[in-house]
A and B are shown apart, each in its own frame.
Chain A
Amino acid sequence: MEKILVGLKRVVDYNVRVRVKGDGSGVETEGVKMSINPFDEIALEEALRIKERGEANEVVVVSIGSGEAQQQLRTGLAMGADRAILVETVATPDPLSCAHALLEIVKRENPELVILGKQAIDNDNAQTGQMLAALWGRPQGTFASKLEFNGGSVRVTREVDAGLDVIEVDLPAVITADLRLNEPRYVKLPDIMKAKKKPLDQIPLAELSVPDSPAIAETGFEPPAARERGIMVDDVAGLVGALNDKGLL
C-alpha cells in the first residue's frame, strides 16, 4: 500500500466535564483542554502499525478546522505520521461537508486506505466515515476492532451490538476505528521536536469544491435532566428492603 490517510479531529478532552452555557447558546469550550478525538488516536496508531509492518509507505493526517487544530496535527506527526494537512475553516463544518472535504483530499492524495474514528466525542455523530465511503463509492468497515490485509482486500472485524461481525472489503476503503483496535502509543519528547520539521500544508476549505448541503440547525442547548439523589443503605438487608419498597423484587 502506498498511502494511508487518517482523520484527526480536535475535540474537548474526554476528561473535561462539559457544561452548557448559562444562556443555552452552546457548551462551554473557553479555556477547556482540547485533544485529538480518542478514536482518531486509535485510527492513527493503526495506520502507523501497518506502516511499521512494512505494509504501507506513508501516513498522512488531515484535520478540518480552525488554525488551532495544528496542535493536534503536530501531535499526530509526533506520534509518527509523515505529513499533515489542515483544511482551514472558521467553524468546523457538519459531517456531510467534512466528508466532502475529505473526499477532495482523497482525490488529491489517492490513498488506498482512509482510517477515521468511529465517532467524534463532541457531537457523537458517528457519520463522517460512512458518508465519505458513500460519496467515494467505496466500501466501509465501521467500528473496526481488527484488520487483516490480504492483497487488495482487508478483513475487518467489527464490534456490533450482538458481538462481532467479520466482513471483507476491497481497497481502497474507509475504516472507522473502535476502542479495542489497539492502544495508542505515548508521544516522546524527542519526537515532538522532530515533528516540528515535518510538513504541514494548509488549504483553505473554500479552495476545495465542497457543495453546500442543507444544514441541520442547532436551536438550543440544555443540561440533561438530572436524576434525583437517592438514598444510601447500610447493608444487604437494607438494600433488599429498599428494592422491595420499590416493588422491584
Chain B
Amino acid sequence: MAKVLLIAEHDGTSLNPSTAKCVACAAEISGAEIEVAVFAESAGAIAAQAASLDSVSRVLSNEATANRGALAAVLAPQIVAMADSYDYIFGPSTTFGKDLMPRVAALLGVNQISDIMSVEGERVFKRPIYAGSAVVTVEAPAGVPVVATIRTASFRAVGAGNSAPVDAVDVSADIPDHTRFIASETGKSDRPDLQSASRVVAGGRALGSEENFDLIYKLADKLEAGVGASRAAVDAGYVPNEMQVGQTGRIIAPDLYIAIGISGAIQHLTGIKDAGTIVAINKDEEAPIFEVADIGLVGDLFNVVPELTEALD
C-alpha cells in the first residue's frame, strides 16, 4: 500500500488548481491511497472542493486561526504530527509548497525531492535541474517517507466528480509564535489566471514601458488569455512580479503561449517548455526564442501586435 498525504493549497476561500494536478501525480504511484489535508482558518468550502477531486479517498480538514496565511513555521509541525502513517507527503511546487515542504522534510529528518515531473516507479521520479537544461532520475531511500514537491505544469488536473469523505482532525503540535502573518498584496485582475489559463500572451523588455504593455493586454483580452512577462519586463517595472514566467517565476503549460519581444533566455524558456504551441514575435531573426517556437514571426511588435489584435476581430 502507498499512503499519500497531499497538502492542499488555497487562498483562504477556494482550492488552488495546483492541488488537482498534484493528485494526478500521486495517482500515478501504484496502489496510491490519497488523502488531502486542508489547513485553514475556515476549511469548509475548500475541503468540499478537495473532496470532489477524483482519486482522493479522504479529506482531512484542520481548522485553526493560526492557519491563516499558510505560514510554513505554523503548518510544518502540524503536518509532522500527522505524518506517521504516510509513505508519501506531497505538496505543489508553487511558492506555497516550496516554502513549506522542505521545513516538513527537515523536521522528519529526510531529504526532499523538488519539482517531480514524472513518476517512474514506486520511489523513482524525474525532475529538472539547471533551469531545465537537464533531467535527472532520482530514487528516494526506502524506509522513510518520500517528501516532495510536484511540478504542476507536468500534470493534467484530475476531474472533479468525486465525493470523498471529509473528516475534521485535531492535531496536537507546538505552534510557534515567532512568525506572524501580516498581509497579502495580491494583484486583482479580471483576466484568466496565468497559472491555469489555456492561452497566455507575454511581453518582454522590448515593450519599453508600462503604458506600452497595453498592447499586450489588448491582445490578451481578444484571446481571453492570461498575461505573462519576462523577468526584464518585471524588473523594469512594466508589470508586477506575479506575472513573471520562468525559472524563478511561474512555470506554466497553456495550450497557446505568445512571446512578444522576449529573447528566449534559458531561465525564461524553462517556464514554458510544456506549452502546447509557442508563438514568437521578435524583430531579431536570430533570437533564441525562435529555436523553440512552433510558429515564428520576425517583425516589429509595435506594428505586428496592433495588426494581430485587429485581425482577430
Stretch at the interface among A68-76, A163-171, A196-204: A163-171
Does A22 lie at the interface of the complex (its beta carbon under 8 Å from any beta carbon of B)?
no
Give the chain A neighbours of B131 by CB distance below 8 A: 121, 124
Give the chain B neighbours of A219 by CB distance below 8 A: 124, 137-139
Give the chain A neighbours of B139 by CB distance below 8 A: 216-217, 219
User: Of the candidates B109, B124, B256, which one forms a contact with A213 in the assembled complex, judged by CB atoms under 8 Å apart?
Assistant: B109
Residue of A nearest to B93 (CB): A126
- Distance from B75 Cβ to chain A, minimum over Cβ atoms (Å): 12
User: Of the candidates B105, B129, B179, which one forms a contact with A127 in the assembled complex, judged by CB atoms under 8 Å apart?
Assistant: B105
B307 touches A224 (CB 8 A): no
A94 to B103, alpha carbons, bound, how many Å? 15
Residue of A nearest to B183 (CB): A166
Given contacts A230-B294, A236-B308, contact A20 B134 (CB under 8 A): yes
Give the chain A neighbours of B248 by CB distance below 8 A: 118-119, 178-179
Interface size class on chain B is 35 or more
Residue of A nearest to B248 (CB): A179
Give the chain A neighbours of B130 by CB distance below 8 A: 12, 18, 27, 121-122, 124
B184 touches A165 (CB 8 A): yes
A18 touches B311 (CB 8 A): no
A237 to B307, alpha carbons, bound, how many Å? 9
A124 touches B136 (CB 8 A): no
A145 touches B134 (CB 8 A): no
Given contacts A134-B76, A166-B183, contact A232 B297 (CB under 8 A): yes
Give the chain B neighbours of A187 by CB distance below 8 A: none
A117 to B45, alpha carbons, bound, how many Å? 36
Residue of B nearest to A95 (CB): B111
Given contacts A161-B96, A166-B182, A214-B141, contact A180 B241 (CB under 8 A): yes
Does B78 lie at the interface of the complex (its beta carbon under 8 Å from any beta carbon of A)?
no
Give 1 or 0 for each of B278-297: 1 = CB within 8 Å of chain A CB. 11000000000011111111
- Distance from B265 Cβ to chain A, minimum over Cβ atoms (Å): 9
Does B215 lie at the interface of the complex (its beta carbon under 8 Å from any beta carbon of A)?
no
B99 touches A96 (CB 8 A): no
Does A14 lie at the interface of the complex (its beta carbon under 8 Å from any beta carbon of B)?
yes
Does B140 lie at the interface of the complex (its beta carbon under 8 Å from any beta carbon of A)?
yes
A119 to B99, alpha carbons, bound, how many Å? 11
User: Of the candidates B128, B180, B199, B295, which one forms a contact with A168 in the assembled complex, judged by CB atoms under 8 Å apart?
Assistant: B180
B103 touches A140 (CB 8 A): yes
Give the chain A neighbours of B128 by CB distance below 8 A: 124, 224
A133 touches B294 (CB 8 A): no
Does B83 lie at the interface of the complex (its beta carbon under 8 Å from any beta carbon of A)?
no
- Distance from A144 Cβ to chain B, minimum over Cβ atoms (Å): 11
Which A residues from 92 to 149 make CB contacts under 8 A with B?
A: 94-96, 99, 118-119, 121-135, 137-140, 142-143, 145
Name which of A14, A127, A223, A234 has the most chain B CB atoms within 10 A of its CB. Answer: A127
Given contacts A162-B187, A233-B297, contact A131 B266 (CB under 8 A): no
Does B242 lie at the interface of the complex (its beta carbon under 8 Å from any beta carbon of A)?
yes
- Distance from B152 Cβ to chain A, minimum over Cβ atoms (Å): 10
- Distance from B193 Cβ to chain A, minimum over Cβ atoms (Å): 9
Does B162 lie at the interface of the complex (its beta carbon under 8 Å from any beta carbon of A)?
no
Give the chain B neighbours of A229 by CB distance below 8 A: 291
- Distance from B112 Cβ to chain A, minimum over Cβ atoms (Å): 6
A139 to B135, alpha carbons, bound, how many Å? 32
Which A residues from 45 to 63 make CB contacts under 8 A with B?
A: none
Residue of B nearest to A183 (CB): B235
B106 touches A240 (CB 8 A): no
Give the chain A neighbours of B241 by CB distance below 8 A: 145, 159, 163-164, 180
Residue of B nearest to A178 (CB): B248
Give 1 or 0 for each of B174-186: 1 = CB within 8 Å of chain A CB. 0010111111111
Does A207 lie at the interface of the complex (its beta carbon under 8 Å from any beta carbon of B)?
no
A243 touches B102 (CB 8 A): no
B106 touches A99 (CB 8 A): yes
Stretch at the interface among B33-41, B50-58, B65-73, B200-208: B65-73
B95 touches A159 (CB 8 A): yes
Does A208 lie at the interface of the complex (its beta carbon under 8 Å from any beta carbon of B)?
no
Given contacts A125-B114, A138-B178, A167-B69, contact A248 B277 (CB under 8 A): yes
User: Of the candidates B102, B135, B180, B195, which one forms a contact with A161 in the assembled complex, judged by CB atoms under 8 Å apart?
Assistant: B195
A14 to B246, alpha carbons, bound, how many Å? 14
- Distance from B220 Cβ to chain A, minimum over Cβ atoms (Å): 14
B297 touches A239 (CB 8 A): yes
B297 touches A224 (CB 8 A): no
A14 to B184, alpha carbons, bound, how many Å? 32
Does B42 lie at the interface of the complex (its beta carbon under 8 Å from any beta carbon of A)?
no
Does A23 lie at the interface of the complex (its beta carbon under 8 Å from any beta carbon of B)?
no
Q: Which 9 A-B pairs have the closest CB atoms?
A: A230-B294, A130-B102, A214-B141, A134-B106, A163-B186, A131-B106, A127-B102, A18-B133, A166-B182
**Can you list 15 A-B pairs with a CB-CB distance of less than 8 A?**
A17-B133, A17-B266, A131-B102, A134-B104, A145-B241, A161-B195, A166-B183, A217-B138, A220-B137, A221-B136, A224-B273, A230-B295, A235-B299, A237-B311, A248-B255
10 more CB-based (< 8 A) A-B contacts, given A234-B297, A246-B294 = A96-B105, A131-B106, A134-B106, A139-B179, A159-B242, A162-B242, A168-B179, A217-B141, A227-B294, A248-B277
